[in-house]
Structure formats: structure tokens, C-alpha cells
């Protein structure tokens, strides 16, 4: 958490950006999705510069060129979504645990991209969010989902089990499923250090509807989980990253 507090304090002269983000989010009809997304990325770049955070992306060419899709990534910490957004050129949004989404700055980040707040203990609300994501993906929007539902503090590059229900929105939209492997993302805000840290975002080859048609959500979940686990293991072991 040392780096988190350092980034906040070293950017205190930019505190005005938080209400600015809130303004852009509140009047979203006046500002394009591209503008609001780029403003989010601008804030992330400022944070990374001060925090000595560097993120490398691999497999960007695997992202579908047209239409909506859902990215499913392993969850390691508070930087995960920021690392994906920083390396993802086109605007994307996120589905996030409601309980974690109202902190200062986090709230503004989520609101700018019109993210979805999921109440994990409210089945009716969760079903409504799934429908919303399904409809918006059909209309061409892109989403980030962390199918583990959360993360354990200092869990390192261990990939927590995924929940099959997380895949329902992509399945119902018949949309591409993009596995995303995050490496060393946990180090950004979990290490009590200010030394330079490098994270990796690996976009793996998508599963298109034709690839998973006829499979159950549990089978799809297990398939994506295994692919991400294999990629994380190879990357941590120092093997050459070959996108699969």
C-alpha cells in the first residue's frame, strides 16, 4: 500500500481532476465514450509515472476487430483493471463488486466508463446486471470481468478459481470471450516498496461463439481458467510468451 499512498500524495496538486472526472461522468451525454475513456487513461498514465509503474501488453492483435466482446482476467489487486484499460485501445467498461466501487477515485474511474456495480449477495440485482451487460455487448460494447469474484491480499500470481456464472453475459450475447492473463499486477499496490515494478497484460486468442457453442458455462469456465493458469505459469517461469 506504500505506493498507493505515495501516488495519491504526489499527485495532490492534481486533486482537481477527481471532480473533473465526476463532471464528465455525470454529463456523459455531452462527452463521447472515447473522450471519457481517454481521460481515464490519462489519469492512469499520470499515476504510473509517479509510481514507477510500467505495464507491457502482449497479444493485442488477438482482440476482435469489430463488435462487442468480454475479457475475462485473473484478479490480483487494485491495479488489474487499470492495467487492462491502459493497454486496451478501444473504450471498454468493467463489471465490479459494488462494495469496492464507491471509494474516492475508484468511483470516478468506474463512472467515467459507465461500469456495472454488481451486488454479490443480491441475486435479483446480479441477474439484472447480467442482462444489461448482455444487451450492451450485443450493441458493440467491451467489458472486463474478473470471474474469480475477488482477490486475496498478497496472493501473488496464484490464479483463484473462477465462477461459471460470470460467463453468462458473454454466452447469452454469443460474443467472443477473450482470456486475459495478468502477471505481477499484485506487486503494484501490495508490495511495501517504491522500486520500479513491471506488470504484464497478455491478451490470449478469443473463443468465438462457434468455439464454445454447445458447451455448458462450467465447461467454458474451466477451459478459460486452464488457459489463463497455463499462461501465468509460463510467464512466471520465464518462458517465452507464446499467445494461445
* Domains in the chain: ranges and CATH: 2-236 (3.40.1130.10)
pLDDT of residue 7: 83
pLDDT of residue 244: 65
Burial of 159 (0-12, 13-18, 19+ CB in 10 A): buried
What phi and psi, each to the nearest 5 degrees, are found at residue 58? -130, 145
pTM reported for the whole predicted model: 0.93
Beta bridge partners of 132: none
Among the residues of the chain, which ranges form H helices? 2-10, 17-26, 33-51, 80-87, 106-112, 123-138, 168-173, 187-190, 209-212, 217-236
pLDDT, average across residues 158-184: 96
Q: Is the pLDDT of residue 4 over 90?
A: no
Distances (CA, A) of 11 to 40, 79, 94, 134: 15, 17, 25, 37
Amino acid at each position: 500500500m506504500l505506493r498507493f499512498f505515495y501516488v495519491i500524495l504526489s499527485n495532490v496538486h492534481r486533486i482537481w481532476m477527481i471532480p473533473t472526472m465526476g463532471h464528465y461522468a455525470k454529463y456523459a451525454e455531452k462527452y463521447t465514450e472515447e473522450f471519457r475513456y481517454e481521460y481515464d487513461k490519462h489519469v492512469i498514465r499520470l499515476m504510473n509515472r509517479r509510481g514507477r509503474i510500467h505495464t507491457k501488453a502482449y497479444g493485442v492483435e488477438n482482440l476482435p476487430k469489430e463488435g462487442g466482446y468480454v475479457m475475462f482476467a485473473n484478479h490480483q489487486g487494485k491495479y488489474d483493471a487499470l492495467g487492462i484499460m491502459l493497454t486496451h485501445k478501444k473504450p471498454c467498461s468493467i463489471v465490479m463488486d459494488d462494495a469496492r466501487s464507491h471509494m474516492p477515485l475508484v468511483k470516478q474511474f468506474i463512472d467515467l466508463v459507465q461500469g456495472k456495480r454488481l451486488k454479490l449477495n443480491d441475486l435479483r440485482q446480479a441477474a439484472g446486471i447480467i442482462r444489461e451487460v448482455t444487451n450492451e455487448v450485443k450493441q458493440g460494447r467491451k467489458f472486463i470481468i474478473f470471474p474469480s469474484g475477488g482477490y486475496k491480499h498478497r496472493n501473488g500470481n496464484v490464479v483463484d478459481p473462477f465462477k461459471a456464472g460470470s460467463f453468462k453475459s458473454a454466452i447469452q450475447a454469443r460474443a467472443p470471450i477473450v482470456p486475459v492473463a495478468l502477471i505481477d499486477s499484485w506487486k503494484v499496490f501490495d508490495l511495501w516498496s517504491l522500486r520500479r515494478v513491471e506488470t504484464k497484460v497478455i491478451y490470449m486468442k478469443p473463443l468465438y461463439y462457434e468455439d464454445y457453442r454447445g458447451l455448458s458455462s462450467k465447461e467454458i469456465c474451466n477451459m478459460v481458467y486452464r488457459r489463463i493458469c497455463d499462461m501465468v505459469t509460463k510467464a512466471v517461469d520465464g518462458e517465452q510468451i507464446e499467445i494461445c
